[in-house]
Amino acid sequence: MNGTYQRVFAREYNGSIATFTESGTHSPVAVLTPGGAICTTLFCAGAVLERQGRKGEFMHARLADSTAAFELHIDRTDQVTADILESMEIPCFATVIGEARITGKGGAGRCTVRVIEMREVDRYVRDAWVLRTADLTMQRIEDLRTALDEGRRDARLDALVLHYHLDASRLRDLALMVKEAIKGVNAPHASSPEAGDPVALVLEIIREHGGKTGISLEEVTRKAAKHGLAASEVKQAVESLLLEDECYQPARGVLKVL
């Protein structure tokens, strides 16, 4: 994953029973989902439905997207996240960045997320996350379908066939999950900037807020987060814009449209 955040729906994530490490690398052990997502760090969004525990103790919460709920764990030493969770008036929408974890073997795995960062957001951000996650999930499904049809195999595909008996039927079930997931998104939101291409959104932020001197990458990242984009997605979008000469850097860490 190279430090990037993976987006998956809760139902797919909770169905994971396998771990995966890319051969020949020093990558950490990741959770391998039934749809082929390799998860070390997750970017999730949904509604916080309940919480347990209090600051100074291990805290637990449930973050529900439109398919199921992520089980969140907050370490007792993480006072900042504990304060944020305690201040939330539940139910409310939130985004979470956290470590993917799985315990148990032989089909009895339990998937959890150790929270690294948590923030309260609005419905627009949640909907943007659903639409973007749906798009990425369908891309994975199509890539896997093509690989199966062409008879291509690699370590990840071998693991999917071994642990999840991956075939066309399984892929159809995942596609139906995506279809159900986007039903909860109001149609007007689908045309909003945050629901579309991350590159287009980042370019719009730079254009709108750059002014005569430009805008810092840190500020772009903060503004993009309000639209449901993770820092890694902003970085990738900026790299693409620089490569395509859509923007440039008048100073280190500063962006401006051409």
pLDDT at residue 75 greater than cutoff 60: yes
Report residue 108's pLDDT band, with 50, 70 and 90 as the boundaries: low
pLDDT of residue 122: 86
Asked if residue 112 and residue 29 are part of one domain, the reply reads yes
Of 136, 169, 189, which residue is a domain's last?
189
Q: Are residues 168 and 99 in the same domain?
A: yes
Nearest residue to 117 (alpha-carbon basis) of 52, 223, 44:
44
CATH code for the domain in which residue 7 is found = 2.40.50.140
The 10 Å Cβ neighbour count of residue 69 is: 19
Q: Which two tokens stand for residue 171?
A: 């892929």
Residues 85 and 153 occupy one common structural domain: yes
For residues 56 and 89, membership in a common domain is answered with yes
Q: Are residues 152 and 248 in the same domain?
A: no
Confidence at residue 4, expressed as pLDDT on a 0 to 100 scale:
74
Where among 189, 205, 237 does a domain terminate? 189
| pLDDT bracket for residue 1 (50, 70, 90) | very low
Q: Do residues 220 and 174 both lie within one domain? A: no
Give the domain range for residue 110. 1-189
Number of domains the chain contains: 2
Residue 207, pLDDT above cutoff 90: no
Tens digits of residue pLDDT in 149-195? 998 888 999 999 999 999 999 999 999 999 999 987 864 443 444 44
Does residue 213 share a domain with residue 110? Answer: no
Top pLDDT among 105 and 141 is at 141
Average pLDDT over residues 200-215: 87
Cα 105 to Cα 120: distance, rounded to the nearest angstrom: 34
Share of the chain above pLDDT 70, in %: 90
Claim to verify: residue 136 and residue 227 sit in the same structural domain: no
Quote the pLDDT of residue 55: 82
Q: Same domain for 184 and 216? A: no
CATH number at residue 218: 1.10.10.10
Q: Is the pLDDT of residue 81 over 70?
A: yes
- pLDDT value for 5: 87
Two tokens, residue 40: 């070390």
Q: Is 138 in the same domain as 234?
A: no
What integer pLDDT is reported at residue 2 of this predicted model? Answer: 38
Residue-wise pLDDT tens digits, 13-65: 999 999 888 765 566 789 999 999 999 999 999 999 899 998 888 999 999 99
Residue 131 and residue 247 in one domain? no
Q: Decide which of 204 and 172 is more confident.
A: 172
pTM of the predicted structure, to 2 decimals: 0.71
Q: Are residues 89 and 151 in the same domain?
A: yes
End residue of a domain, out of 160, 189, 218:
189
